[in-house]
C-alpha cells in the first residue's frame, strides 16, 4: 500500500502508483498465467529431470500421456514483459516408454537444441535417445537410436548440460552396483559417447530413484539423492 509523496528505499517493492503533482507513474502490466501442458499424470511435474532451459527465454519439457503410453516433448516461449508463455505443439518421442517418471529425462545441448534420454520399455535395459532442434516453438527430432545398455534393469535417468554439445548423464539400475555415469558429446542429431562408464559411490548407488545431476563448473558436476547424499564428479 502506497501513500502520495512517500519516500522509497532502493530495493522496496512498489505497488500501484498514486497521482503525484499531476503526473501518473504507471506500473508495467504483469500477469500470472496458468499453463495447460496437457499432462494426464500431473505428478510428473514434481521431478526436476523433466524440464530444461534452452535458447533465450525458452524451455522444453516432457510429458507422459497415459492415453497412449507415449512420451512427448513441448517447447514453451516466455514473454518476459507480460510474463506469459506460448506453448508449441507437443511432439511424440516414443510410444514405448516405461511408465515411470524416473526413467526418462531432458537436457539442454545448445541454444535451441536438447536431448531426451529414455528407457525402452520392451527391453528394460536399453536407453534410447532422440535429439531435438527448435525453431520458434517448432521441434524437429532426429531418429531414435540406442545410447547405452545397462547391465540390469534401468530404473532412473538424469542428465545435465556441461558445454556446447557436451553433457553428462546418470542411470540407476535395479542392481545398484550397475548404476553408471557417462559423459557424451553430440554432432547434429547423433551422439558420440566419450570415455568409459564410471561407477558411483556405494551410498548413491543404493539411493538411485530420486537422483538429480547438475553442472557446478566447467567439466564438473554433482549428483545428489533425495535421501541426502551427494557426490562430485569431473570429466
Calculate the CA dihedral of residues 12, 14, 18, 23 and round it to 10 degrees.
Answer: 90
Supply the pTM of this predicted model: 0.80
What are the tens digits of pLDDT across the range 52-103? 999 888 999 998 877 777 899 999 999 888 888 899 999 999 988 877 778 8
Nearest to 168 by CA among 143, 205, 193: 193
Mean pLDDT over 171-194 rounds to 91
Q: How far apart are CA 45 and CA 38, in angstroms?
A: 12
Contacts of residue 114, defined as CB under 8 A and 6 or more positions apart, other chains included, come to 52, 54, 60, 73, 106, 107, 108, 131, 132, 134
DSSP letter for 120, please.
Answer: B
Q: Return the SS3 of 205.
A: helix
Nearest-5° Cα angle at 123, 118 to 126: 45
Nearest-5° Cα angle at 123, 120 to 124: 75
What are the tens digits of pLDDT across the range 107-166? 999 999 999 999 998 899 999 999 999 999 999 999 999 999 999 999 999 999 999 999
- The grid coordinates of residue 169 equal 548423464
Q: What is the pLDDT of residue 161?
A: 94
Amino acid at each position: 500500500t502506497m501513500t502520495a509523496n512517500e519516500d522509497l528505499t532502493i530495493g522496496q517493492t512498489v505497488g500501484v502508483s498514486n497521482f503525484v503533482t499531476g503526473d501518473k507513474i504507471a506500473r508495467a502490466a504483469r500477469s500470472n498465467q496458468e499453463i495447460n501442458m496437457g499432462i494426464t499424470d500431473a505428478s510428473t511435474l514434481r521431478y526436476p529431470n523433466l524440464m530444461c532451459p534452452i535458447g533465450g527465454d525458452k524451455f522444453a519439457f516432457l510429458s507422459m500421456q497415459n492415453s497412449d503410453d507415449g512420451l512427448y516433448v513441448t517447447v514453451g516461449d516466455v514473454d518476459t514483459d507480460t510474463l506469459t508463455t506460448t506453448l508449441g505443439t507437443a511432439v511424440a518421442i516414443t510410444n514405448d516408454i516405461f511408465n515411470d517418471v524416473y526413467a526418462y529425462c531432458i537436457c539442454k545441448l545448445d541454444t535451441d537444441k536438447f536431448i531426451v534420454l529414455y528407457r525402452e520399455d520392451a527391453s528394460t535395459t536399453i536407453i534410447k535417445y532422440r535429439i531435438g532442434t527448435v525453431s520458434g516453438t517448432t521441434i524437429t527430432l532426429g531418429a531414435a537410436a540406442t545410447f547405452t545398455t545397462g547391465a540390469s534393469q534401468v530404473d532412473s535417468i538424469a542428465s545435465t548440460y556441461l558445454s556446447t554439445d557436451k553433457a553428462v548423464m546418470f542411470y540407476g539400475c535395479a542392481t545398484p552396483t550397475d548404476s553408471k555415469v557417462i559423459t557424451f558429446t553430440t554432432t547434429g542429431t547423433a551422439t558420440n559417447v566419450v570415455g568409459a562408464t564410471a561407477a558411483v559411490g556405494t551410498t548413491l548407488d543404493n539411493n538411485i530413484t530420486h537422483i538429480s545431476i547438475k553442472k557446478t563448473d566447467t567439466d564438473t558436476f554433482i549428483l545428489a539423492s533425495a535421501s541426502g547424499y551427494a557426490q562430485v564428479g569431473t570429466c
